[in-house]
A = this chain, B = another copy of it.
Amino acid sequence: MAFNKKEEFSAKEQSLAAFTKAISHPARIAILNVLAKKNECICGEIVDVLPLAQSTVSQHLKELKMAGLINGTVDGPRSCYCINWKAFEKFNSDFNSLFEKLKEVNAKCC
């Protein structure tokens, strides 16, 4: 049991799900919020702001990076992150193409 059936869905569905999964934890939303507020890329400042251990924050950053939501480069002994806005634009576009258009057409039914 618990076979992974995710591959059986469309690429768009998988892509959308991967994006939303990446931001499905308050810590990662908080990280993105910090990155969005400060145009400058940040590193361990995030650790100071979040109520989590350094290793945990690093793990969340890794997930965001692997999902393509943020960019990260090494800058000496520290790491610099910033939001990948293109990924957000793609999400907005995909999300709207699935739901937004139909909003007006649909009335509540039950």
Measuring CB to CB, which residues of chain A are less than 8 angstroms from any residue of chain B?
Answer: 5-6, 8-10, 13-14, 16-17, 20-21, 23-30, 32-33, 36-37, 39-41, 51-52, 71-73, 75, 80-85, 88-89, 98-99, 102-103, 105-110
Contact = CB atoms under 8 A, between A and B. Distances in A.
Can you tell how many copies of this chain the complex includes?
Answer: 2
Given A17-B25, A105-B39, A51 B8 contact: yes
Q: Which of A40, A82, A102, A105 has the most CB of B within 10 A?
A: A102
Given A5-B52, A20-B20, A26-B6, A36 B108 contact: no
Given A24-B24, A103-B85, A110-B41, A30 B9 contact: yes
Given A13-B29, A13-B33, A82 B99 contact: no
